[in-house]
Amino acid sequence: MKKNQITIFVMGMLLLTSLTISAKPKRVIMIALDGISVEGYQKANTPNLDALMAEGAFSLTTRVAMPSVTLPNWTSHLTGSGPEQHGVVNNGWKIDKFVLPAVETDTDGYYPSVFTILKEEMSEIKTAFYYNWINLFYPYNKKYFDEVSYLEKDEYIPNYQKAINFIVRNQDKPTVVFLYSVHTDHAGHRHKWMSPEYIHSIEEADVQIGKFINEMKEKGLYKDTHFMFLSDHGGINNGHGGVTTNEMIVPWGITGPKIKKGFKIEEPNNTVNTASVILRLFKIKQPLSWTGEVPESIFK
């Protein structure tokens, strides 16, 4: 091969590599609010979430995994599988305390989460998990995270700033962030779902989400980010766990590059699809044990 042919070949390979890298999202941020029913979301004044979801694909008919309980459902979001696969069937699950074994585990006994798969396939990726309900982190192997932050007593606002700081530090690397708060769920348990206090808790979160989004924009980090808005269940009276539509149907949305704008998701959707969508964004094949599917209609 002549010198000029070699030069052309090398330049072509570099261009191909550049295009491949640029096709991958720089970051995915999951904005996760516990206990948000469709009725609650619609009644609350949430201009920031509304504006964010108007930029992408949004569903008000997404079903959660059964039972409509917190830990099984967040685990389902993040493992692309239902409780029958990952084995987290109640809020009391621990690595050494469970009833139903997972169908597959890593060497430490954990079912493969989206963080596990991403870390194993992309060593350069940075992952973070921010939460304020102690049980929430139990189903995940901590070695697959670069930052984990737990806050007590329903505190969550400091985690939003920690997440921003983490994203800024790693802005040149692929990044996946799970940003969660349980205060909305607790308001429902204490005061009833659809009570003024419950609605206020959603509106309070929306204010912080707005600040978070604005800071992302100010730092030039908004445009190439995929945002997902997620919840795990709704509620009736002071609780949840049943199969009523108020408990089993939640909002679900995604924005970002190559996602349709202002799109209403009509096809059936389930919370187990969340992790499957994230792997699709990074062009990574999901494990055979996962049951989640990708709602193809969300893509341009």
Pick the closest to residue 132 from 48, 41, 201 (CA basis): 201
| Cα 98 versus chain centre, distance | 24
The answer to whether residues 188 and 235 touch, using CB atoms and an 8 Å cutoff, is yes
Q: Among candidates 259, 243, 248, which has minimal Cα distance to 296?
A: 259
Q: Give the C-alpha separation, 154 to 259, whole Å.
A: 33
Decide: helix, strand or coil at residue 192: coil
Q: Which residues contact 194 (CB under 8 A, 6 or more apart)?
A: 37, 39, 40, 43
Q: What are the phi and psi torsion angles at 60 (to 5°)?
A: -115, 20
DSSP label at 137?
A: G
Choose among 48, 17, 58: nearest CA to 222. Answer: 48
SS3 252: strand
Question: Which 8-state DSSP code applies to residue 111?
Answer: P
Other CB atoms closer than 10 Å to residue 288's CB: what's the count?
Answer: 8
In this prediction, residue 25 carries a pLDDT of 67
Distance (Å) of CA 165 to CA 27, 160, 283: 14, 9, 26
How far apart are the C-alpha atoms of 169 and 83, rounded to whole Å? 35
CA distance linking residue 21 with residue 29, whole number of Å: 19
CA distance 98 to 11: 55
**Percent of the chain residues past pLDDT 90, beyond the cut:** 91
pLDDT in tens, 38-48: 999 999 999 99
Domain extents in the chain: 27-298
pTM: 0.92
Calculate ∠ Cα 56-156-45, nearest 5°: 50
In this prediction, residues 237-244 reach a mean pLDDT of 97
Tell me the fold of 27-298.
Alkaline Phosphatase, subunit A (3.40.720)
Mean pLDDT calculated for residue range 207-232? 97
Q: What is the mean pLDDT of residues 1-21?
A: 44
pLDDT in tens, 114-128: 999 999 999 999 999
